[in-house]
Amino acid sequence: MKKLILLLLITSSTIYAEGGVFSVGSKNVGFTIGTDNSFGNNYTVLGANVNYFVLDNLSLGASYQAFLGGNPDINQVTVPVTYHLPLENTTYRPYLGAFYNRTFIDKPYKDYNIYGGRAGLSLQTSKNSFMSFGWVQEFSNDADDNENRGYPEFTGGFSF
C-alpha cells in the first residue's frame, strides 16, 4: 500500500465539563475534515470522534473516518487513550497518548492495523476550552508492507 499522506486535518470539538476540561466525567465530540492520498487516488476524509475522561486527566475515546471519492473504499476505526500531565498553577498541559486503528479496505486489498502514539501540549484557554498542538507517530502493518509515518496535529475544544 502506498503511503497515506495527510494534507489537511481540521478538528473541532464540543466539550461539556462540570469541573474543567480535563476532569473526570468530561466529554467531547469532534468532527474531522481533511484530504489524503492513497492507491493513486485523492480522498476526502470525513470523520467523527468521542472522548470521555474516565479519571482526571485520562480520556478514552473512539473515532470513525470514511475516505470518500476514490477506489478502493477505505474506512477506519480508532480507539485512543490520552493522558494530560497535571501541572501546578499553569494553563499548559503536556499530553501523551496511544491508539489502535483498524483500517478496512475493499478487496482485493487486505485490512490492516495501525498502532501509534501522540505527544504535545494543550493550552487551557478557559475553564471549559482548550487548544492542543502535537505530533502523531503511526506504525502500520498491512500484511504485505510495514510502514511508518508521522504528522502534526491540531485540536481544539469549547464548552457549552
Beta-bridge mates of residue 34: 9, 45
Q: Is 39 left (phi over 0), alpha (psi -120 to 50) or beta?
A: left
Render pLDDT for 113-131 as a digit per residue (tens, 0 to 9): 999 999 999 888 887 777 8
* pTM given for the model: 0.78
What domain count does the chain have? 1
Grid coordinates representing 150 are 508521522
What integer is the mean pLDDT of 139-158?
Answer: 76
Angstrom distance (rounded) from CA 100 to CA 140? 10
- List the domain range (segments joined by +) for residue 60: 5-159
Assign residue 92 the CATH number of its domain.
2.40.160.20
Average pLDDT, the chain: 81
